[in-house]
Structure 1
Amino acid sequence: MNTRLIATDEAGYGPQLGPLVIAATAWDVLDTEDPAALFDRLEQGFELPSLGRIRIGDSKKLFAPGKVKRLKTLEAAMLSIAAIASPRPPHNLSQWLRLLSPNATKTLAKSRWFADLSEAFPIDLGSPEDWKSLRAEVAQHWQTEGLQFRSASATILPAAEFNAMCDAAGNKATLLSEQTVALVLPQIMETDANAIEVFSDKHGGRAYYGGLLQHFFPDAQVTVEVEGRLASRYRIQLGERTIRWHFTAKGDSFAPVALASMVAKYTRERLMDVFNAYWQAQVPGLRPTAGYPGDARRFVNEIGDAVAKQELAVHELVRQR
């Protein structure tokens, strides 16, 4: 019998500029006492003629901005996801985003700097010439006996949406938790598996998630297995389905969480490129920003005249928490 395994992570929790991206990966795995062992081979990586080495790991270690930002390592994994998800290759950023979330481009288009998402996908790797062959190659490694990659999905919140949801939630840790559970719910509901394991990185150091899970599963019995600084774990009995949700500090050491981290990081980096390009077109000579608090202040000051000219409200551009 198979278990549905879902893993989540985010990118952009700390910055004041740019979107928060929450990503999830879904897998079907054989029931086992040690699910991590099934993913050892993916963590070690493998070579594909069309992409080079495919690695799954901590996105912060696989991507280093430096003077010349290179997305090659992350992009190889994103192309692998796309190869399984779509019979045709995505050619631009908009098509990549629609693979993750059908509504993403519509939400992003509310912010004028994200209205044009026609930038190429991929950018640091050449587009594979034989997509059918690539799909077969990736499936050989990610869809084997005992391990089946199913999907990657994401929730993308630009500043205006982030601020509105944060006001409703009360703080950004609660917002992150609520949006993470909302992203995972469809993956739980669409599977026939009665055993479901969910792995998430901890949200802002939060230790208690029982009330949150009970809110999203009002008809289920939610039992606390452990709550602490390093790990919080819950058992959710929903009819015949048993859902165990693990919130773990440094959870991205586990390959499925690491891949979710890579999806979130890559997607945010690409969107920050679009964000920066838009404002550099308004303010020639403007240095790009990653959006973190210190540099965000510099960036907002330097685009001040352009912001005023466009009659933008601060909450449309800057995340307030």
Structure 2
Amino acid sequence: MASAETSIRYRIGVDENGLGPRLGPMVVTAVLSRVTQAGWETAGRAPRGALAQRLGDSKQLVAHGDVSLGEAWTRALVARGCGRAGAPGAASSVDELLHAVALDDRAALRALCPGHVEEQCWSTEGEAFTAPDKLLRAVGRDLDRLAEKGVEIVAVRSMLLCAKRMNDGARAGKNRFLLDLHAMERLILELGGLAGAEVFAVCGKVGGFGKYGSAFGPLSGRLYAVLEEGRARSAYRFPGLGEIAFVRDSDASDLCVAMASMVGKYVREALMERVARHYQRAVPGLHGASGYHDPVTSAFIGATRLVRRAREIPDDCFERRAAEADAALGAVESGGP
């Protein structure tokens, strides 16, 4: 009979937000959970009952302009010590919250920012929390109930890839799908180190890949075994690290992936709002934009052109450019990167 200690396992859920927009960052987020044998089934399925009203596919529950639910999950997790080492127990501002969950520190996040551009993405002017206390309490109770069922959330981290990093990757021949995959790998390695044990990681499917081996970045060079490779699921075993599975629609079928998606959606929207507010202060009557491929975003890009030119904002720091490597997507979706 296994002891209570040996029955503890670690699960990671990873998902991306903002893979295809024109503006704003791509955010890849991972959630680490400490799971008992009894809680394993709960952690590996979609949220049920009342929890499903607050936790699930972020595309359905969090919208541009209404991010309170994503904010509530992010704040609740940080308040329980799931943020970076040294992060305050409860974030007192949006900026504090964002840096509590960011994988990289402040200096690393700003490393590519020209001094005169930094305010576009990092100004805190005009931002504030929007989640009501009632919602924060509800999410806190959700986390308590999960812990009672054997699913304790240990850590959450988001990797932020701004337009500049995405464009640099494109020039280096790395399309957005590779950047997404490599960010997922880095997060799994980071949280696996925090766990101090082998992990079981579930990630959203990346770019329709069927086979991931030749596309690995941070995991390249490591010994691994192929468990399965297909359109719906691809899984690999890494000795000493654990198992990594890439699963289609996992944000709608795996609790930890859903939680990662909720946090990532909030982080991306908060950062995109900074860009919008920055230019709204300079262009009277300018509407905010989601950053996606829609008429409002196109109008936003056009309306800010003169301001950006006058301020010498590099295009690379504002709008994403499609990587030439994206032309290979058809080959990727047919079975390999």
In the aligned structure 2, how far is the partner of 1:159 from the partner of 1:269? 14
Q: Is the Cα contact below 8 Å between 1:92 and 1:117 reproduced in 2?
A: no
In structure 2, give the amino acid aligned to 1:91.
S
In structure 1, give the amino acid aligned to 2:288.
P
In the other structure, the counterpart of 2:56 is 57
In the other structure, the counterpart of 1:49 is none
- How has the CA–CA distance of structure 1 residues 186 and 215 changed in structure 2, closer, same or farther, with 3 Å as cutoff? closer
Deviations 1:29-72 (A, max 9, x none): 1246x8343466954346xxxxxx9821111111234xxx3223
- How has the CA–CA distance of structure 1 residues 215 and 79 changed in structure 2, closer, same or farther, with 3 Å as cutoff? closer
In the other structure, the counterpart of 1:50 is none
- How has the CA–CA distance of structure 1 residues 38 and 15 changed in structure 2, closer, same or farther, with 3 Å as cutoff? closer
Deviation of 1:315 (Å): 1.0
Deviations 1:55-102 (A, max 9, x none): 21111111234xxx3223223222221221266321211100121126
In the aligned structure 2, how far is the partner of 1:180 from the partner of 1:38? 19
Deviations 1:16-35 (A, max 9, x none): 10111111100011246x83
- How has the CA–CA distance of structure 1 residues 75 and 136 changed in structure 2, closer, same or farther, with 3 Å as cutoff? closer
Gaps of 5+ in 2: 1-5, 82-86, 323-337
Q: TM-score, normalised by structure 2?
A: 0.80
Q: Is the Cα contact below 8 Å between 2:80 and 2:89 reproduced in 1?
A: no
Deviations 1:281-312 (A, max 9, x none): 11111121111234343322111110110112
Alignment of 1:317 onto 2:318: yes
In the other structure, the counterpart of 2:129 is 122
Deviations 1:105-155 (A, max 9, x none): 442582331232355552232499xx9x99985663343363221011001
Question: Would you tell me which structure has more strand in proportion to its own residues?
Answer: 1
Q: Is the Cα contact below 8 Å between 1:205 and 1:229 reproduced in 2?
A: yes
Q: Is the Cα contact below 8 Å between 1:24 and 1:183 reproduced in 2?
A: yes
1:57-96 alignment, distance < 5 Å: 57-65=56-64, 69-85=65-81, 88-96=89-97
In structure 1, give the amino acid aligned to 2:274.
V
In the aligned structure 1, how far is the partner of 2:216 from the partner of 2:42? 28
Alignment of 1:235 onto 2:237: yes
Q: Is the Cα contact below 8 Å between 1:43 and 1:57 reproduced in 2?
A: no
- How has the CA–CA distance of structure 1 residues 103 and 290 changed in structure 2, closer, same or farther, with 3 Å as cutoff? same
Q: Is the Cα contact below 8 Å between 1:9 and 1:260 reproduced in 2?
A: yes
Percent identity of equivalent pairs: 23
Shifted more, 15-24 versus 80-89: the winner is 80-89
Structure 2 counterpart SS, 1:79: helix
Alignment of 1:200 onto 2:203: yes
| Aligned residue pairs, count | 303
- How has the CA–CA distance of structure 1 residues 38 and 228 changed in structure 2, closer, same or farther, with 3 Å as cutoff? closer
In the other structure, the counterpart of 1:190 is 194
In the aligned structure 2, how far is the partner of 1:39 from the partner of 1:22? 20
In structure 2, give the amino acid aligned to 1:181.
E
Deviation of 1:192 (Å): 2.7
In the other structure, the counterpart of 2:174 is 170
In the other structure, the counterpart of 1:14 is 20
In the other structure, the counterpart of 1:29 is 35
Q: TM-score, normalised by structure 1?
A: 0.84
Q: Is the Cα contact below 8 Å between 1:282 and 1:306 reproduced in 2?
A: yes
In the other structure, the counterpart of 1:287 is 287
Shifted more, 172-181 versus 74-83: the winner is 74-83
